[in-house]
Amino acid sequence: PGPRMDSLPEAVLIRILASIPAVDLVLVCRLVCCQWKNLVDGAALWILKCQQEGLTGAESEENAENWQNFYFLSKKRKNLIKNPCGEEDLQHWGEVENGGDGWKIEELPGDFGKEFPSEDVHKYFVTSYEWCRKAQVIDLRAEGYWEELMDTSQPKIVVKDWYAGRSDAGCLYELCVKLLSENEDVLAEYRSETIAIPQDNDASWTEISHTFSNYGPGVRFVRFEHGGQDTLFWKGWYGVRVTNSWVTVEP
């Protein structure tokens, strides 16, 4: 008979374990014995998995828990906003306020507009002559971010949005993002100023962003809301344009 697994050098065993899917490592392999548990809970295994899968960015001085979390967060990294560019009309956007003639989706660049910096974005939402607002609530647990991770590691939550005006009309824009508890109490909040774009602007797209960190335990939802209107009160859709909204949980 060949050598037993527990007689293998630790470096060899780590390489074998690194070939196993991460979820199985945590839910199955770490229950086999104390040695395997220590390896799965240690840094070396996750450093190797990160290297093998091209996941970079974690600092070498980070502890074992951070390396494991870094791996899982890197694999799960995605935009949690659904329908960020209006490709599905207003689907997934709730709590809609349709002031004036309401929200409308238009093709880029639009009248008196400019192309978006990324060729991947083809549409935008546009507001009218009274306030238009729309919101989306992200359930972090439903997206796979477990409670212990959010409460203990408190990974960064990065929020981004893009806005622009027409070159022939002035407009207003606002962004408000809240981190909510299980009972939807507000645990942290970012609220932009009311941004005024003057008439005769250059119609260029501007990114606005905010990073939540050290926000404390209990965050279970992210509520993203943005909106605006035109300042000339022209019938139709001369207000602020928004697209490519983002919410990501970062390692």
Q: Which CATH number does the domain housing residue 171 bear?
A: 2.60.120.260
- Kindly state whether residues 149 and 240 are assigned to the same domain: yes
Mean pLDDT, all residues of the chain: 89
Q: Residue 79 falls within a domain, yes or no?
A: no
Determine the average pLDDT of the residues in 121-140.
97
> What confidence tens digit (pLDDT) does each residue in 161-211 have?
999 999 999 999 999 999 999 999 999 999 999 999 999 999 999 999 999
Q: Which CATH number does the domain housing residue 14 bear?
A: 1.20.1280.50
Number of domains the chain contains? 2
One-letter-per-residue 3-state SS of the chain? CCCCHHHCCHHHHHHHHCCCCHHHHHHCHHHCCHHHHHHHHCHHHHHHHHHHCCCCCCCCCCCHHHHHHHHHHHHHCCCCCCCCCCCCCCCCCEEEEECCCCCEEEECCCCCCCCCCCCCCCEEEECCCCCEEEEEEEECCCCCCCHHHHHHHCCEEEEEEEEECCCCCCEEEEEEEEEECCCCCEEEEEECCCEEECCCCCCCCEEEEEEECCCCCCCCEEEEEEEEEECCCCCCCCCCEEEEEEEEEEC
Q: Higher-confidence residue: 124 or 3? A: 124
Q: What is the pLDDT of residue 56?
A: 67
- Kindly state whether residues 60 and 134 are assigned to the same domain: no
Segments forming the whole domain that contains residue 55:
5-71
- pLDDT exceeds 60 at position 64: no
